Amino acid sequence: MFEHSTKIRVRYGETDQMGYMYYGNYAEFYEVGRVEMLRSLGLTYSGMEESGIKMPVLEMKCKYLKPALYDEEITVKVIMDKMPGIRIHFRYELFNEKEELINIGETLLVFINMQTNRPCLPSSDFLDKLKPFFE
């Protein structure tokens, strides 16, 4: 299993009139957490795209437990439970400044060969960087 946490502050433009983060912005927080998790391994989306692989989202689940509030620093914990194959699954736990769990979610992405537009396996470099966490 591999876990990584990132902190993101809720900006005014991300909230509604109640000062709650707008529900659609949770997907962006998931993406920031996912990108930073991969970056922590020396992997980047731009690097993957340069190598001919893109990673679109197939599915997303999101459960709201408590609101994220304006100007709160949110911890986005990203969890990868198993080695990816053609698909890669991420779980998310979001915590407020009081360390209360406020949101849980999941995304399922697929590796796509950009030349054929067909599913493919991730690069061996990608898998090699993840292997130590799953042995």
Structure tokens at 57: 């989202």
Domain that holds residue 44: 2-133
pLDDT at 109: 98
| Total domains, the chain | 1
**Are 40 and 6 in contact, with CB atoms under 8 Å apart?**
no
Percent residues over pLDDT 70 in the chain = 100
Evaluate if residue 26 carries a pLDDT over 90.
yes
Band (31; pLDDT cuts 50, 70, 90): very high
Q: Which residues contact 109 (CB under 8 A, 6 or more apart)?
A: 55, 56, 57, 58, 87, 88, 89, 90
In this prediction, residue 38 has a pLDDT band, given cuts at 50, 70 and 90, of: very high
pLDDT for 118 equals 98
What Cα–Cα distance (Å) separates residue 125 from each residue in 24, 42, 102, 128, 133? 33, 10, 35, 5, 14
Torsion (CA) 62, 131, 2, 35 in degrees, nearest 10 = -60
Q: Mean pLDDT score of the chain, rounded to an integer?
A: 96
Residue 103 class from Cβ within 10 Å (0-12 exposed, 13-18 middle, 19+ buried)? buried
Query: Residue 42's CB: how many other CB atoms inside 10 A?
Result: 9
pLDDT-derived band at 135 (thresholds 50, 70, 90) equals: confident
Q: Is 93 helix (H, G, I), strand (E, B) or coil?
A: strand
Mean per-residue pLDDT, 120-135: 94
Q: What is the mean pLDDT of residues 116-122?
A: 97
Mean pLDDT of 3-30: 96
CATH number (domain holding residue 117): 3.10.129.10
Give the pLDDT of residue 83.
Answer: 95
State how far the Cα of 28 lies from the Cα of 103, in Å rounded to an integer: 13
pLDDT tier at 73 (50, 70, 90 boundaries)? very high
